[in-house]
Chain A
Amino acid sequence: MPSLTQTMVAVGLVTQFAAEKPNAKIIPSLIMVNNVLGAQDAVITVQDVFTPAASNGTPAPVLTTQSRLNINVSMAACVSIRDELKDIEILGLLQLLIGVADANCIVTVAWNFE
């Protein structure tokens, strides 16, 4: 399964992890937040970003961002989430939003396609 480790310093506070795979959903299998050296509590939201297809009710769809999971990791803590993710489905691009950018907050995400 693919995985990626990044620090949460992105401009705009979102960090992209997995691009959309058009014919599959992304199923996150692991999120590890290493906030041991973090300057503050890390509030992280898993976001799903996509543009829906034109449909009967929405003939001109726009880029949509849906929050799928919210994680709060205290300073000096390291948290790993695995089982809680099994029912989370990402339809589009998988990105993480952090409340306050922090170069010492390190996040690892692993995922499968379904």
Chain B
Amino acid sequence: MFIEKPVPEAMVSPGVPKLLQEGYYVKFTNAWPAEFSSISGKLFQIAETNVVPHDIHHIIPTNDFRDVDLSNSAGGENLYPENVNTLNEVVLGFKPGNYLAQVYIPAGEALSRLEQASMFPDVTNVVTRYLGQRTPTDSPYDDKRIFMYFVRNLEPIIFRMFVDTGIDFEKVVIGAMVNKCRLSLITQPTPDQERLAKIIRYYSELRW
């Protein structure tokens, strides 16, 4: 449910749409837990899409951070769907600035960490502050590369926006494109549909 796409090595023609489109297939892995039984292991076709751009902005002092919760929790940015048959494909990019993001899902659980026990991101630690960082260069505002897939009641995903030292304040601008996708269940998918489907993994599968 979290993908950071690399810079393409080649161009293809005709171009491939960046976002999920009407008629595309998506499949949720079996790792989605019981509370997501309506989607876990199932294959859907996208019946309709609607792209909704949105900007999130905060001015933050140097060497300080703010947690940006993308979920519908109190104080969150409310980018999650409310309906069970809606999948929100959210693409994020950052305007230039002296800041970085550390990603947590759920709160307190870093998305990116290494196997050695001390190698988890911590913005208060000058050594591990940059571990797993996502910067404006990694996902520019005009060429967004961070893709996330949200369903109703998914645990909150937190972007810890940290303004690095060497500046007094920084304006953090996160550009979000929310591709609302209405899902239509395919009860008996064919092998071709299975092969074409975009696999959407549960966050626990991203950390191994």
Partner-B contacts on A (CB < 8 A): 22-25, 50-58, 64, 66, 89, 91-92, 114
Partner of A91, one of B55, B59, B65, B67: B59
**How far is B175's CA from A24's CA once the two chains are assembled, in angstroms?**
11
CA distance A96 to B57 in the complex (A): 25
**Is B169 a contact partner of A64 (Cβ separation < 8 A)?**
yes
B75 vs chain A, min Cβ distance (A): 10
How many whole Å from A73's CB to the nearest CB in chain B? 26
Q: Answer whether residue B35 sits at the interface, using C-beta atoms and an 8 A cutoff.
A: no
The interface of chain B, by Cβ under 8 A from chain A, is 55, 57-61, 63-67, 95-96, 168-171, 173
- Interchain Cβ contacts under 8 Å between A and B, 19 examples: A22-B55, A24-B173, A25-B95, A25-B171, A51-B59, A52-B60, A52-B61, A53-B58, A53-B66, A55-B60, A55-B64, A56-B64, A56-B66, A57-B63, A66-B168, A66-B169, A91-B59, A91-B170, A114-B95
Q: Can you add 20 more A-B contacts, CB < 8 Å, to A91-B59, A114-B95? A: A22-B55, A23-B57, A25-B95, A25-B171, A50-B59, A50-B169, A51-B59, A52-B58, A52-B59, A53-B60, A53-B66, A54-B66, A55-B61, A55-B66, A56-B66, A58-B64, A91-B169, A91-B170, A92-B59, A114-B96
B61 partner residues in chain A, CB cutoff 8 A: 52, 55, 57-58
Q: CA–CA, A49 to B70, complex, Å?
A: 28
Q: Report the Cα distance A114→B95, complex, angstroms.
A: 8
Main secondary structure, interface of A, reads: loop
A-B CB proximity, top 6 nearest: A53-B58, A23-B55, A57-B64, A52-B59, A91-B171, A55-B64
Looking at the assembled complex, report how far the CB atom of B159 sits from the nearest CB atom of chain A, in whole angstroms: 13
How far is A91 from B67 in the complex, measured between Cα atoms in Å? 20
Which residue of A24, A25, A55, A92 is within 8 Å of B65 (Cβ)?
A: A55
